[in-house]
Amino acid sequence: MKRRKRQYRTIKKFFRNPLGVIGLFLLVFFVVLAILAPVLAPPAWQDEPYRIPRDGFSPTPKPPNEEHPFGTTEGQYDIYYGIIWGTRSAWVVSLIVVGCSAVIGIILGSIAAFYGGWLDEVIMRITDIFYAFPFLVGAMVLTTILGRGLDNVMIALIALGWMGYARLIRGDILQIREAEYVLAARAAGAGSFRLLTRHIWPNAIWPVVVQGTMGMGSIVITAAALSFLGVGAPMGYADWGQLISFSRNWVIGFQGNPLAYWYVVVYPSIAITLFCLSWNLVGDALRDILDPRLRGVM
């Protein structure tokens, strides 16, 4: 009863933050886009919906027309189709990567904090080592070695993305471990597993949730950056980064009309920026509510 009341209060507080609400609405919009993808943009090949249909092979992009509402890229890939189905790719990549990294981080961080001693030392030094590699550069090298493809992109992003969650939950557990209610539960004879799952995690998990929300946007950015560099999604796969990489040679039009190919840059850029912005707005609002100490940071 009490818990439900607290949750209700949290939700009410969230809706008092206008920017957070805007972010949430945008996210709902992207969910709808992803769900309705087969209706909004019927796939050309039923068994390969992520393959963007092509209309010829001409290298010059074509402006928006009846058949292609957002125009076509170089190689005549349909931009509208790529954006609609790219929404699905963005959701799949960000949810899987953030979910898996958070689970790995939570498990390792909890072990380190809960058992302490040499185990803690070893796990934290391993996080230090993984932290030494810049996210994008590391993911680029790993994807190159594993081979092009969205599944390998996800493996690389998870392998290099779990450390933040581990450090965060470790710090929180170290604080909570000595709290009176935990000591009381321990004195009452609760085992390690019960202590963790019933008493510690429910109280230590919120900063991880906030971190995860902020992570959703940056994961999509990094995955798209890999596609942009040509080591991410395979050629012709519906992915926002791929669409932007198609636009690279067409940013500047020709003499006299620099705006000639605006559509190849503008549509995919809007899609990816809005997606990240909405997650960051929601994350910002959540942080204000769940972690008042950090109000306004990041």
Partner 1 sequence: MITFIVRRLLLIPVVVFGCILLVFAVMQLLSPAQRLSLYIDNPNELRQISRNLDVMIHRYGLDRPVYEQFASWVGQVFRGDLGWSESAARPVSGAFRRFFPVSAELALWSALPIVMGGILLGSASAVRHNKLFDHAMRFFAITGWSLPTFVAGLLALFLFYGILQWFPPGQIGITAAAMMRSADFTSYTGIITLDAVLNWNWYVFADALRHLVLPVFVLSLVSWAMLLRITRASMLETLRQDYVTTARSKGLSERVVIKKHARRNALIAPITVAGITVAFLFNGLVITETIFDFHGLGRWAARAAQTFDLPALLGYLLFNGVLIVMANLIVDILYAKIDPRVRLG
Give the footprint of partner 1 on this chain (CB under 8 A). Answer: 125-126, 128-138, 140-146, 217, 221, 224-225, 228-231, 241, 244, 247-248, 251-253, 258-259, 262, 265, 269, 272-273, 276-277, 280-281, 284, 294-298
Smallest gap from residue 194 Cβ to partner 1 (A): 31
Which residue matches tokens 């669409």? 243
Which CB, 203 or 269, lies closer to partner 1?
A: 269
Phi, psi of 54 (to 5 degrees): -110, 150
Q: What span, in angstroms and rounded, lies between the C-alpha atoms of 172 and 193?
A: 17
Smallest gap from residue 197 Cβ to partner 1 (A): 30
Smallest gap from residue 69 Cβ to partner 1 (A): 21
Strand spans (E) along the chain: none
CA angle 98, 281, 217 (to 5 degrees): 30
Smallest gap from residue 68 Cβ to partner 1 (A): 21
Which CB, 196 or 250, lies closer to partner 1?
A: 250
Which CB, 144 or 203, lies closer to partner 1?
A: 144
Phi/psi-derived region of residue 78, left when phi > 0, alpha when psi is between -120 and 50, beta in every other case: beta
Which CB, 11 or 137, lies closer to partner 1?
A: 137
Q: What span, in angstroms and rounded, lies between the C-alpha atoms of 145 and 147?
A: 5
Which CB, 84 or 220, lies closer to partner 1?
A: 220
User: In angstroms, what CA-CA distances link 115 with 28, 46, 47, 110, 192?
Assistant: 41, 51, 49, 8, 10
Smallest gap from residue 248 Cβ to partner 1 (A): 7
